[in-house]
Structure 1
Amino acid sequence: MTQHRQGQAGVTAIDEFDEIIDVRSPAEFAEDHIPGAINCPALDNAQRERIGTIYKQVSPFEARKLGAAMVAHNLADALTSNFLDRPRTWRPLIYCWRGGQRSGSFVTWFRLIGWDACQLEGGYKRYRQHVVDELVRLSPQLDLRVICGATGSAKTRLLEALAARGAQTIDLEALAAHKGSVLGARPGIAQPSQKQFETRLLAAVRKLDPARPTFVEAESRKIGLVQIPEPLIAHMRAAPCLAIEATREARIAFLLRDYAYLGDDVEALKDKIGAMKAVQSNETLAQWKALADARDLTSLFGEFIDRHYDPLYQRSQNRNFAGFADAPRYVTEDLSPLALDALARQILLETA
């Protein structure tokens, strides 16, 4: 067990506690939080904003006085609503933004009750720095294998097939809640903040054995609105690659399955097409929007492959991934689940 001052715990001791309680506001919690933490706000969003205004416009004393009353009320509500069933031996870790008064208030009262409650030293701010530092430390230790392939080559589904066969993987697109291209937004699913993405990424990386290969999909620096941290993207770009070379017909068939939902909202699809105006002519965009209106996804996806994604892929892979030129090629005419499972089996046999 990590040694720490009474009522205080460092960021490396997080896993030693029975429960992690984030007493920041719901808005702060939604942006990012320690994995597994529950939110019991010392001040809700409106209260936090009000106290901040009083602190700046009236005085710190008046802000602390009203803030203390609000925190006391919210603490009592949290205690009666969430924690009365906890046993005497319960050990919670409590944190706020930087280990200050909000978490300190909860820790003080919980310890008076008799629980061995501890405040996270430095709060979320210190945890956030820990995430950044750990990604810097752990990323270069990974034995990466980068899966390359043009858009529609079912790289993510291959990654899932590899994981199903026991391989180590990092699914960056799942962590980012985005498929990585201009068409990659997932309907009804918001992307995480950059901070939350990196928290999720660290949680995934910490589970990996650096002595075993880890498969990851080739990605641009950005996946939708979030960026892959520099230590990882730099390591990916220097790592060995393998390339999936699927036929055009197989790729279109796959895209029709995997992106079928794009035909459900034609106006949203046309908006995505319009976002390509920096790299495509107005005439091309008009043709593509007409295909969208006709719901002719087969022709539209063929156009995307021929005139947008393949030229971009051919320009970028050799430049961005040092191991791409020497990558073993896996040629396939079938991207069905059964075929991808067979391909995953072949890759693992040849990687072992």
Structure 2
Amino acid sequence: FTAEPWLHTYSEIIDVRSPAEFAEDHWPGAINLPVLDDAERAEVGTLYRQVDPFTARKRGASLVAQNIARHLQTHFADKGRDYHPLIYCWRGGQRSASLALVLSQVGWQVTVLQGGYKTYRAWVRRQLQTLPQEFTYRVLCGPTGSGKTQLLRHLQQRGAQVLDLEKLACHRGSVLGAEWGTSQPTQKSFESQLVQAFLQWDPAKPVWVESESAKVGQLHLPPALWQAITQADCVEVQLPLEERVKGLIAHYPHWIAHPQALKEKLLSLKSRYGQACLQRWFELIDAQDWPQFVRELLQQHYDPTYRHGLQQHFNRIRARLELPDLSESSLQEAAVRLRGMSF
């Protein structure tokens, strides 16, 4: 089910489900040519429930025919005789069969995925039960702002296998970790991306990953992956507090630009630290004393949370790596040292 090998067999992988279904999750590499869009699918479903199945099928057939005609006039207009697509819908039923019938009548060789998206999704779930356990992991630990994500990037540039969970999840894994203006992928899409990453790697080589909780934002790590990471050897990255403060201010400009949104996010910590602590942070925000605000947030919230997580889940520290700062030269040198470590 990886896109690349299948595209050696098929000219294209076509998902004919509605745009909303496609957005929730799809076979990586597939294109979306819906035979019913979201509104049309809802209309047909309403007719099926409130009128009768025959009326719904009649209306559905009319809409499907119009949409297929449009796809023929646009997407398929320049396809040659040797065009050979793979088509799927939700469960390999009427929607994929409708497009396949028309394309085959044109003269193209068409394959329909038996079982449709549900077959693909079941395969993803099976893979996530076993694939993560086939790899050895090297976990970068370290308090918030210590440069772990930057180190992963440098390791990847040097050919290391890197699982960047925060990048895949579109979230930095903390109360203030949401990517500004970007929503997280769905759980299903996140899992599809994980499987595709594993299938590209060599199990004989280690996978570098950052220590995370069992959830990254609203997304859950597959249990087999979480178990494998928490049992792995770790390297703890250490960076002076003032360097962490500078780096975090540089990496979170959206919170500085939107102080009211920052305050609203911090409200979720009120039950843990109380109104007085929250009010102190709000005053620092109002004064735009960002160094002191970040310093106190690290010392009072992030660092104790990190130490607790380290004790509970990431206690196999095999080495420590000290960074003087987050300059490119420091990160490059550290990445070289990490790749040379033996466990």
- For this structure pair, what is the TM-score category when the shorter chain's length is used for normalisation? over 0.9
Taking the aligned partners of 2:130 and 2:174, their CA distance within structure 1 comes to: 29
Taking the aligned partners of 1:30 and 1:199, their CA distance within structure 2 comes to: 12
Structure 1 residues 10 and 109, CA, compared in 2 at 3 Å: closer, same or farther?
farther
Per the alignment, residue 176 of structure 1 pairs with 169
Query: How far 1:278 sits from its partner (Å)?
Result: 3.0
Amino acid at match of 2:330: A
Alignment counterpart, residue 304 of structure 1, candidates 294, 297, 301: 297
Q: Does 2:275 correspond to 1:282?
A: yes
Q: Scaled by the length of structure 2, what TM-score is found?
A: 0.96
Per the alignment, residue 6 of structure 1 pairs with none
**What do the CA deviations read for 1:268-319 (whole angstroms, capped 9, x no partner)?**
1111111222322111111111211222211111011110011111111121
Amino acid at match of 1:23: V
Deviates most, 330-339 or 137-146: 330-339
Unpaired stretches in structure 2, ≥5 consecutive residues: none
Taking the aligned partners of 1:81 and 1:278, their CA distance within structure 2 comes to: 57
Q: Does 2:206 correspond to 1:213?
A: yes
Amino acid at match of 2:326: L
Amino acid at match of 1:331: E
Amino acid at match of 1:337: E
Amino acid at match of 1:20: I
Identity across the alignment (%)? 44
Q: Scaled by the length of structure 1, what TM-score is found?
A: 0.94
Q: Does 2:130 correspond to 1:144?
A: no
Taking the aligned partners of 1:97 and 1:322, their CA distance within structure 2 comes to: 44
Query: How far 1:333 sits from its partner (Å)?
Result: 2.2
Query: How far 1:13 sits from its partner (Å)?
Result: 7.6
Following superposition, which runs of at least 4 residues in structure 1 exceed 4 angstroms of deviation? 9-13
Q: Does 2:148 correspond to 1:155?
A: yes
1:130-279 maps to which residues of 2 (within 5 A)?
130-279=123-272
Q: Does 2:121 correspond to 1:128?
A: yes
Maintained 8 Å contact 1:239/1:322? no
Taking the aligned partners of 1:316 and 1:36, their CA distance within structure 2 comes to: 37
Per the alignment, residue 326 of structure 2 pairs with 335
Q: Does 2:341 correspond to 1:350?
A: yes
Query: How far 1:328 sits from its partner (Å)?
Result: 0.5
Maintained 8 Å contact 1:11/1:120? no
- SS of 2:34's equivalent in the other structure is coil
Query: How far 1:11 sits from its partner (Å)?
Result: 10
Maintained 8 Å contact 1:144/1:236? yes
Maintained 8 Å contact 1:148/1:244? yes
- SS of 1:273's equivalent in the other structure is helix
Taking the aligned partners of 1:188 and 1:278, their CA distance within structure 2 comes to: 27
Per the alignment, residue 4 of structure 1 pairs with none
- SS of 1:277's equivalent in the other structure is helix
- SS of 1:280's equivalent in the other structure is helix
Taking the aligned partners of 2:5 and 2:322, their CA distance within structure 1 comes to: 48
- SS of 1:211's equivalent in the other structure is coil
Maintained 8 Å contact 1:245/1:332? yes
Taking the aligned partners of 1:10 and 1:250, their CA distance within structure 2 comes to: 42
Maintained 8 Å contact 1:237/1:321? yes
Structure 1 residues 329 and 12, CA, compared in 2 at 3 Å: closer, same or farther?
closer
Amino acid at match of 1:226: L
Per the alignment, residue 75 of structure 1 pairs with 68
Query: How far 1:106 sits from its partner (Å)?
Result: 0.7
Across the aligned residues of Structure 1 and Structure 2, the Cα RMSD in angstroms comes to 1.7
Query: How far 1:322 sits from its partner (Å)?
Result: 4.5
Deviates most, 215-224 or 255-264: 255-264
Per the alignment, residue 51 of structure 1 pairs with 44
Query: How far 1:12 sits from its partner (Å)?
Result: 11
Maintained 8 Å contact 1:10/1:121? no
Taking the aligned partners of 2:311 and 2:201, their CA distance within structure 1 comes to: 28
Amino acid at match of 1:123: G
